[in-house]
Amino acid sequence: MPKIVEILHADDPRDVIHEVVQTLVEGGLVGLPTETLYVAAAYAPHPIAAAQLSGWLKSSGIPDCMLAVKGPSEALDFLPELPPLGQKLLRRFWPGPVTLAFDAALAGGLTGALPEQTQQALLAGERFSLRAAGGDVIGAVQRLVPAPLILGGETTRDGTAHASAAELAAAAGDRLALIVDSGPCKYGAPTSIVYCTADRWSLVREGVASQRALDRLAGNLYVFVCTGNTCRSPMAEALFRKLLAERHGCSEDDLIDRGYFVASAGVSAGPGSPPSPEAVDVLRDRGVDLRGHESQPVTPHLLSRADRIFTMTRSHRDQLLRDFPDAAGHVSLLARDGSDIVDPIGSGLDEYRRCADQIEQHLHVLLDELE
């Protein structure tokens, strides 16, 4: 049986992590807890370890290995030609208990720098699977190793889960040099496996993440941006949601289940400010209740998840492009004719009405364009 180390009772948990890292780099197999279940891990650049892990999984009837990366950016090092849909799923599903599988032909970039045995372990079938595993232990290990890990053994082919260090030890026997025991995993159930092609994705195995949850995560997120997120962009957000629901013949609450999310933010906004009273009054006349809105600033996290970002003015667009160049492909003006939507703040109720009219006019054009 492998050595089992209870990290919660260790004098210094860092010593346990360092022992794990040293074992992995030297070619040993290690059992690690993740947010889902316990898994076996090998250091991807070590050919013998990769072959041993792959051999054990095949002989035990356990599904194939997967590459454990820190996040979407590292995944793209191994999938440099990943289509836009795949990149979107990386951003939306991670961090989270989801394994993403792609056609093995997409593997490239640093994949070719891995030892042949590791490539064979990862690409033995027709799919290349990757996971950004969660959990304190595996996260600490990944921060100390310069290259990814390969993982396997979360469940057997018949679905038996390794929910504890003891269960993994019983299944692996002496194949593992040591197992880190951190008690029960957060979810205690396997990852959901999603297969993605160039233009669609499908749920191969429903685990922690349900079909409905993944449908929501993979939906289209539209973000409207102004300065303070108290009048123009909240009005655009609320009116767009109303018009979108009308076009789809559903309630606004049902838009989420149809894969539509709408948000707004401000380039100079603070969190939690209420909408301007004039904006509330103007939208009330249009059957929209804006009173529950709270302002939020533009953040890298929000922009990275957005499918389309619409700014009220050219200066807003230019500021986003300057501060967040990675979002360049998703940012455009709300006004499809290239004009600015002028800030009505401090100009009275009539100016707010004109601003809302202008926003709604451009939203109709935008909806025609999106459909």
pLDDT tens-digit series, residues 118-139 = 999 999 878 999 999 999 999 9
Give the mean model confidence (pLDDT) for residues 69-91.
Answer: 94
Say what percent of the chain tops pLDDT 70. 99
Tens digits of per-residue pLDDT, 260-308? 999 999 999 999 999 999 999 999 999 999 999 999 999 998 998 899 9
Give pLDDT, residue 160.
76
Catalytic residue from among 232, 241, 317, 355: 232
| Residue limits of CATH 3.90.870.10 in the chain | 3-212
Q: Give residue 9's pLDDT.
A: 92
Query: Taking residues 222-241, what's their average pLDDT?
Result: 97
Q: Which residue has the higher pLDDT, 310 or 257?
A: 310
Catalytic residue among 65, 196, 226, 231: 226
- Three-state secondary structure of the chain: CCEEEEHHHCCCHHHHHHHHHHHHHCCCCEEEECCCCEEEEEECCCHHHHHHHHHHHHHCCCCCCEEECCCHHHHHHHCCCCCHHHHHHHHHHCCCCEEEEEEHHHCCHHHHHCCHHHHHHHCCCCEEEEECCCCHHHHHHHHHCCCCEEEECCECCCCCECCCHHHHHHHHHHHCCEEEECCCCCCCCCCEEEEECCCCEEEEECCCCCHHHHHHHCCEEEEEEECCCCCHHHHHHHHHHHHHHHHHCCCHHHHCCCCEEEEEEECCCCCCCCCCHHHHHHHHCCCCCCCCCCCCECCHHHHHHCCEEEECCHHHHHHHHHHCHHHHHHEEECCCCCCCCCCCCCCCHHHHHHHHHHHHHHHHHHHHHHC
- Superfamily covering domain 219-370: Response regulator (3.40.50.2300)
The rounded distance, in Å, linking the Cα atoms of 347 and 84 is 43
Instruction: Look over the chain and give the mean of its residue pLDDT values, rounded to a whole number.
Output: 93
Q: What pLDDT was estimated at residue 197?
A: 94
Which CATH number does 3-212 carry?
Answer: 3.90.870.10
CATH 3.40.50.2300 residue spans of the chain = 219-370
For position 27, what pLDDT does the model report? 96
Please report the pLDDT score of residue 281 as a whole number. Answer: 96
- Residue 67: is its pLDDT beyond 90? yes
Q: For 206-210, 262-266, 279-283, 325-329, which range has the lowest pLDDT when averaged over its residues? A: 325-329
Hey, what are 248's tokens?
């789809």
pLDDT classification of 63: cutoffs 50, 70, 90: low
Query: Does the annotation mark 343 as catalytic?
Result: yes
pTM for the predicted model, two decimal places: 0.81
* 321 CB neighbour count, 10 Å cutoff: 14
Q: Which of 340, 343, 353, 354 is catalytic?
A: 343
Q: Specify whether 226 is catalytic.
A: yes
Tens digits of per-residue pLDDT, 148-185?
999 988 877 667 788 999 999 998 888 999 999 999 99
Query: Taking Cα atoms as reference points, which of 69, 248, 81, 207 lies closest to residue 150?
Result: 69
Rounded to the nearest 10°, the torsion over CA 112, 118, 121, 125 is 0
